[in-house]
Structure 1
Amino acid sequence: MTLKNAISEIWYTRCPVPTPVGLAVQLGLLDETFAREGIKLNSIIDSKDRAVRSSHFDHHLSYSFRHGGNVPPIRARSEGNPTRLVGITWTDEFQAIITLPETGIKTTKDLVGRRFGVARRPEGIVDFMHATALKGLVSALSLEGLSHKQVEIVDIHLTDSVLDGREGPQLYGLRNRQAYGAEIAALLRSEVDAIYVKGTPGISVANLFATHTVAEFGFHPDPKIRINSGSPRVLTVDERLAEDRPDLVTKLIGTLQQASAWAETHPDDVRRFVAREVGASEEVVAAANGPELHRHLGIGLEPELIDAIGHYKDFLHEWGFLKANFDINDWVDRRPYDALDARAVA
Structure 2
Amino acid sequence: MTRPVIHYTRCPSVPTVTALAQAQGLLEEEFRNDADVDFEFSSVGFSPKLDYAPADRLWLRNAGHAPAVWKRSLGVACKVVGLAFLEGRYPVLALHGAGIASPADLKGRRVAVFHNPDSPFDLMVAQQLKIYQSALQSAGLSLNDVEPVYLPRFRPGAAKGGFLLSLFQKGLEALEAGEVDAVAASIPPDGGFYPQLNVVYDTRLAPERIQRVHPSVLRGLVVSQALLDERRDLVVRIVERLIEASERAARAPLDALRTLAGDLGQAPETLAAVYENIPQGVRLDLNDDYVASLATQKEFLLRHRLIEHDFDLESWIDYSILADATVLHRQRQALNAEI
TM-score (norm: length of structure 2): 0.86
Return closer, same or farther for 1:152/1:20 CA change in 2, 3 Å cut-off.
same
Shift of 1:17: 1.6
Q: Which runs of structure 2 are paired with 1:112-151 in the superposition (5 Å)?
A: 112-151=107-146
Change in CA separation of 1:112 and 1:175 when aligned onto 2, cut-off 3 Å: closer
1:306 aligns with 2:286: no
**Of the candidates 249, 256, 259, which is equivalent to residue 242 of structure 2?**
256
Give how far 1:59 is off. Answer: 8.4
Structure 1 range deviating more: 223-232 or 250-259 = 223-232
- Structure 1 residue identity aligned to 2:286: L
* Contiguous gaps of at least 5 residues in structure 1: 47-52
Structure 2: state its 5+ residue gaps. 333-339
1:269 corresponds to which letter in structure 2?
D
Partner of 2:336: none
- What's the offset of the Cα at 1:67? 0.9
Letter of the 1:16 counterpart: S
Residue 281 of structure 1: how far off its partner (Å): 1.8
**Structure 1 residue 339, shift from structure 2 partner:** 2.8
Contact 1:105/1:111 (8 A) holds in 2: yes
Structure 2 partner of 1:278 = 264
| Code of the aligned partner of 1:41 | F
Q: Is 1:85 the counterpart of 2:73 in the alignment?
A: no
Q: Residue in 2 aligned with 1:102?
A: 97
Distance in 2 separating the partners of 1:312 and 1:281: 30
Are 1:194 and 2:179 an aligned pair?
no
Contact 1:98–1:206, Cα closer than 8 Å, also in 2 = no
Match status 1:75 vs 2:59 = no
Deviation at 1:151, TM superposition (A): 1.4
Equivalent-residue separation in structure 2 for 1:124 and 1:284 (angstroms): 28
CA distance in 2, matches of 1:262, 1:144: 41
Contact 2:83 2:220 survives alignment (8 Å): yes
Read off the aligned partner of 1:65 and give its amino acid letter.
L
Determine if contact 1:57/1:72 at 8 Å carries over to the other structure: no
1:223-242 map, 5 Å = 223-242=209-228
What residue number does 1:50 align with?
none
Change (3 A) 1:221 1:293: farther
Which residue in the other structure is 1:49 paired with? none
SS in 2 for 1:86: strand
Over residues 251-275 of structure 1, what are the superposed CA-to-partner deviations in whole Å (9 max), with x where a residue is unaligned? Answer: 1110100001111111111121121
Q: Deviations over 1:182-211 (max 9, x none)?
A: 4332212101000112xxxx2328866432
Are residues 342 and 31 of structure 1, via their aligned partners in 2, closer, same or farther at CA, if it must alter by over 3 Å? Answer: closer
Contact 1:23–1:274 under 8 Å retained in 2:
yes
Q: TM-score under structure 1 normalisation?
A: 0.84
Q: Structure 1 vs Structure 2: percent identity of aligned residues?
A: 25
Q: For 1:1-346, what aligned pairs fall within 5 Å after superposition?
A: 7-38=4-35, 39-45=37-43, 55=47, 60=52, 61-158=56-153, 165=156, 170=158, 178-197=166-185, 202-204=186-188, 209-210=193-194, 211-290=197-276, 292-340=277-325, 343=328
Q: Distance in 1 between matches of 2:146 and 2:94?
A: 14
Q: Distance in 1 between matches of 2:49 and 2:15?
A: 18
- In structure 2, distance between residues paired with 1:207 and 1:306: 37
Secondary structure of the residue that 1:204 maps to in structure 2? Answer: coil
Is the CA contact 1:180–1:205 (under 8 Å) kept in the aligned structure 2?
Answer: no
More moved, 277-286 vs 309-318? 277-286
Structure 1 contact 99–194 (Cα < 8 Å) conserved: yes
- Preserved contact between residue 83 and residue 218 of structure 2 (Cα < 8 Å): yes
Superposed CA offset, 1:196-250 (max 9, x none): 12xxxx2328866432211112253311221100221111011211111000110
User: What amino acid does structure 1 have at the position aligned with 2:291?
Assistant: I
Once the 2 structures are TM-superposed, how far is the Cα of residue 181 of structure 1 from its aligned partner?
A: 4.5
Letter in 1 for 2:177: R
Q: For the structure 1 residues 310 and 57, does the alpha-carbon distance in structure 2 shift closer, same or farther, using more than 3 Å as the test?
A: farther
Q: Distance in 2 between matches of 1:133 and 1:233?
A: 16
Q: CA RMSD in A?
A: 2.7
The change in CA–CA distance for 1:87 and 1:289 in structure 2 (over 3 A counts) is same
> Is the contact between residue 84 and residue 285 of structure 2 (CA under 8 Å) also seen in structure 1?
yes
